[in-house]
Structure 1
Amino acid sequence: MTGLNKWLRLLIVFLVCFTIVSYSWFLLGGAKKEYTVTPKNSTYSIIDDSSQSGATTTTLNISNRNVLLECNLVNKAKWPFCEIAVALTDAIDIGFDLSSYDSVGLDIDYTSPLEGERIRIYLRNFDPTYSNTDDPLSLKFNAIEYTPGSNQGLQIFPLSSFQVLSWWIAENNIPVNKSSRQFDNISIIEIATGSYVKESYYAIKLNRLVFYGTWITESSLVKLLLLLWVVTATIVILIDRFVLSQKIKTSEERSQRLRDANRVLYNKSLKFEHLACTDSLTRIRNRHTVIEWLEGIVLQTQLNKIPFSMIFIDLDHFKEVNDRYGHSFGDEVLIKFAATVEGLTRCSDVFVRWGGEEFVIFCPETNMSVAVEIAEQIRETIMTKAWGFDQEFSLTCSLGVAELVDESCEDLIKRADFALLKAKKMGRNRIEISWEHQQLK
């Protein structure tokens, strides 16, 4: 943890405290939530066997403390029953999402002629893939049956204990992926008499109906806290690396100053005095004046690991030009050729007449690919140029290109000369490249 500044240490202390407080809050029940169904937030109604031509009579009394359903079941309908229907919303297709709750608490007193008789609890879910607003039976039956007895108080059941009724799945032809329990859109809760009843008096008193859940699960809280720790650790690593990089940067300043000094010397070595050391005919540098410079620039290039290339140029069939038009005309061609090529070179390039009709371009800070581009521009310009002589005249040149590797300037020149010789043997008016460590044959 070395190198951490004060604010980052405070951040870690805060995160530790936040983790302790958050998990303690969860363990003490701070994340728990409840949803109690009351006459203020829902609507109560009666459903009985009258829709099946039954003769059951029912009454419903709603007070602030409880809801009481009394019914006299008559064995006229095929399945006599009565139930309390609790509508959580005004629309059957817009329900209440109970998927974040994990259990339900029921406080029901049940009066029936049979001891230990069960009642049925239905959580009815609407889903447009299988439900129809015109058919209440199309809402999914998430059901449990249990014996409430009388004065048993609040009994809590996990929502995972509810099961979808098999007859409803078969009757509505529900696919397998929709046949499991579902609580994301509960619009109606039904509390009904048992499956097997007889003609008698029944009473269902609903004292309390409440759903229990948590705002955040324990696993989600742990994941969130873990994420906060990971983010903090990442910040610590990044800051530590930044501090280390600053130290490295400081330690490299001395060597950088030395490299800058070498660079200054290197750039100064590129400056020539153009009024001296020039070829008397073409007015460009001659071979003898660049030898000492070339040795120094090659050494500086290798020390600073800077690319350095050269282009060897030879005029094609120049002897025939002299033989056909005379040496005076040949000199004019050399002058115009040198002026043309010099116009194509860059400020940093060094253009030299090597001897006769041979020329060399030294290209500091230039790799092979750029040097080839320069050579191709020269070759195409010379081939297509209108030279302006009285007689029809055309000229081409061959070029050899080499890039400096771990070698002397003499070896570099030999490789470029070898590439030029190859270009001439291959038909002239072309460029050949001498690659690193190429055999000279």
Structure 2
Amino acid sequence: MTGLNQWLRLIVLFLVCFTLAAYGWFILGGAKTEYIVTPKNSKYKIIDDSIQNGATTATLGIRNSDVLLECNLINQAKWPFCEIAISLTDSVEKGIDLSSYHSVGLDIDYTSPLNGERVRVYLRNFDPAYANTNDSLSLKFNAIEYSPGIDAGLQVFPLHSFQVLSWWIAENNIPVDKSNRQFDNISIIEIATGSYVKESYYAIKLNRIVFYGEWITESSLVRLLLLLWVITAVIIMIIERIILHKKIKNTEEHSLRLRDANRQLYNKSLKFEHLACTDPLTRIRNRHTVTEWLKEITIQTQRNQIPFSMIFIDLDYFKSVNDTYGHSFGDEVLIKFAATVERLIRRSDVFARWGGEEFVIFCPETNMGTAVEIAEIIRETIATKDWGFDREFNLTCSLGVAELVDETSEDLINRVDLALLKAKKMGRNRIEISWEHQQLK
């Protein structure tokens, strides 16, 4: 045991020194990397409004340290402009992966008739899911606009500040999962005159473009160091287990007895938790159960930019069911309704009784269109179902649907509640949709 403890102290000392040295190396910038765009590793050309039958004229001067674009904009094309197009590779399909870089530095001098006028910077990404080599406009526009001024020096922008142009998303019918900024295959960089120009002389002098990143991120380094500690600890535990086999065996027997006792306690706690979280009539989740969960899932969904939708259901004229047939019959209707809906929804959906004859379905990773399809299946099934009662009985429901945007869970609930209210006002047995912060009347 004494020898083992001595070795353990030496190993721990080594790990501490190595961890401090590795993290210090990272803090001092040892992992930083740069990608500098120059005329030696890329090709430059002019793009202007001549493709729109414009009359703009432009010249491009390329030197070792900078590139100068001069153009005279003529108000003949619908959108007069000129720009520097930088091809990073010979093939549009095979660009450069810049996804590991976190920011870009731009040193641009911009001469224009107006002080503070902005230039547009596009990082064009190729992805075969939406782009093709025969259409240059099909490459994704990751864009920023800023005012470079003259002699302002290098200005650094985080890559997450770039936004995909909305007109490009709409024109190319881009799906939601491909509409976010993307830097994994950048083949072209474009620097263009501003959105609002007039007939005049313009000059864009590109002094420097540099991308900043780290060949290993801080989180990856921490994970590697943690893995080293874990592997070392596992090896030490194995050695110690061999040496102390008999003692461990006795401990395991004792642990088994404790584990059995804990399992019994755990099973009992699950039973009590199930009773507390389940609606006693319909045997589905109750409102109290999903309230806290909804707040957490809302935050996580917005943080990860994942779609999330909600369906609010109200049984039409249910009070008259209770008044006509009695509350016992009404309870049986609620039970059969809940069982029917549970069979219609997906495993990932969360179904709960909100109160009385109101029910709610939360649909993670689901956009508005899919949620409306689910709601329509439920509405039609309920309206046409043979409920199997010994008396003639029909049931319909009204539904409100909304997709989460930049809002709180309470705001989402209020919107979908307003959509449900509109469905009821419009005659019931129908679906109404709430788009973002639209106020339904």
**TM-score of Structure 1 vs Structure 2, range by shorter chain:** 0.5 to 0.7
State the shift of 1:247 in Å: 9.3
Q: Deviations over 1:228-286 (max 9, x none)?
A: 1111111112112222238999xxxxxxxxxxxxxxxxxxxxxxxxxxxxxxxxxxxxx
Deviation at 1:7?
A: 5.5
Query: 1:247 and 1:3, CA in 2 relative to 1: closer, same or farther beyond 3 A?
Result: farther
What is the match of residue 131 of structure 2?
131
- Residue 179 of structure 1 corresponds to 179
Q: Which residue of 1 aligns with 2:102?
A: 102
Looking at structure 1, the residues matched to 129 and 69 of structure 2 have their Cα atoms a distance apart, in angstroms, of: 33
Does the CA-based 8 Å contact 1:43-1:86 persist in structure 2? yes
Contact 1:35–1:212 (8 Å) recurs in 2: yes
Residues 120 and 143 of structure 1 are in contact (CA less than 8 Å); yes or no, is this contact kept in structure 2?
Answer: yes
Bigger mean CA offset, 106-115 vs 213-222 = 213-222
Within the alignment, does 1:210 sit opposite 2:210 as a pair? yes
Q: In the TM superposition, what are the counterparts of 1:364-379 in structure 2 within 5 Å?
A: none
- Deviation of residue 154 (structure 1)? 0.3
- Indicate the residue corresponding to 2:200 in structure 1: 200
AA of the residue aligned to 1:150: I
- On the 8 A contact 1:3/1:240 being kept in 2, the answer is no
Q: Which residue does the alignment assign to 1:238? A: 238
Who is 1:66 aligned against? 66
Find the counterpart in structure 1 of residue 25 from structure 2: 25
Aligned to 2:75: 75
Aligned-pair RMSD on alpha carbons? 1.7
After superposition, where does 1:343-354 map in structure 2 within 5 Å?
Answer: none
Aligned mates of 1:172, 1:226 — CA distance in 2: 45
**What SS class does the counterpart of residue 113 from structure 1 fall into?**
coil
Using the alignment, how far apart are the partners of 1:190 and 1:248 within structure 2?
67
Partner of 2:435: none
Q: 1:401-425, CA deviations, whole angstroms, 9 ceiling, x for partnerless residues?
A: xxxxxxxxxxxxxxxxxxxxxxxxx
| Residue equivalent to 2:88 | 88
Q: Any idea what the Cα deviations from partners look like across 1:162-191, whole Å, max 9, x if unmatched?
A: 000000000000001100000000000000
The residue that corresponds to 1:117 in the other structure is 117
The letter of the residue matching 1:123 is L
**Deviation digits for residues 211-236 of structure 1 (CA, Å, limit 9, x no counterpart):** 00111111111111111111111111
Determine the structure 2 residue equivalent to 1:56: 56
Instruction: State the distance in 2 between where 1:31 and 1:4 align.
Output: 36
Q: Give the share of equivalent positions with the same residue, in percent.
A: 77
Structure-to-structure mapping, 1:396-435, within 5 angstroms = none
Task: Note if contact 1:124-1:189 (Cα within 8 Å) is conserved in structure 2.
Answer: yes
C-alpha deviations, 1:56-108, integer Å up to 9, x for none? 11000000110000000000111000000000000011100000000000000
- By how many angstroms is 1:5 displaced? 6.9
Q: Structure 1 pair 248/200, CA: closer, same or farther in 2 (3 Å)?
A: closer
Residue of structure 1 in register with 2:406 after alignment: none
Aligned-partner SS, 2:197? coil
2:148 aligned partner:
148
Give yes or no for contact 1:12–1:232 (8 Å, CA) kept in 2: no
Q: Which has the larger radius of gyration?
A: 1
Match in the other structure for 1:221: 221
Mapping 1:4-15, distance limit 5 Å: 4=4, 9-15=9-15
* Per-residue Cα deviation, 1:341-390 (whole angstroms, up to 9, x for no partner): xxxxxxxxxxxxxxxxxxxxxxxxxxxxxxxxxxxxxxxxxxxxxxxxxx
CA distance in 1, matches of 2:245, 2:124: 64
1:68–1:237 CA distance, 2 compared to 1 (3 A): same
For residues 186 and 231 of structure 1, the distance between their equivalents in structure 2, rounded to whole angstroms, comes to 38
* Aligned partners of 2:241 and 2:248 also within 8 Å: no
**TM-score between the two structures when normalised by the length of structure 1:** 0.55
CA-to-partner distance for each residue in 1:16-56, whole Å, 9 max, x for gaps?
21101100001101111100000111001100001111111
Q: Match for residue 40 of structure 2? A: 40
Change (3 A) 1:247 1:207: same
Residue-pair matches, total: 249
Question: Structure 1: which amino acid aligns with 2:150?
Answer: S
Instruction: Kindly indicate whether the alpha-carbon contact (under 8 Å) linking 2:110 and 2:150 is maintained by their aligned counterparts in 1.
Output: yes
**What's the offset of the Cα at 1:10?**
3.8
Cα distance in 2 between the residues matched to 1:248 and 1:162:
58
Aligned residue for 1:102, secondary structure, equals: strand
- Match of 1:380? none
Unpaired stretches in structure 2, ≥5 consecutive residues = 250-441
SS in 2 for 1:4: helix
Q: Secondary structure at the match of 1:223?
A: helix
Q: Report the more deviating stretch, 235-244 or 206-215.
A: 235-244
CA displacement at 1:6 relative to structure 2: 6.0
Distance 1:219 1:133 in 2: 37
CA deviation after TM superposition for structure 1 residue 155, in Å: 0.2
Which structure 2 residues correspond to residues 231-270 of structure 1 after superposition, within 5 A? 231-245=231-245
Q: Which amino acid aligns with 1:23?
A: Y
Q: In 2 relative to 1, CA 248–73 (structure 1 residues): closer, same or farther, beyond 3 Å?
A: closer
The one-letter code matched in structure 1 to 2:209 is: L
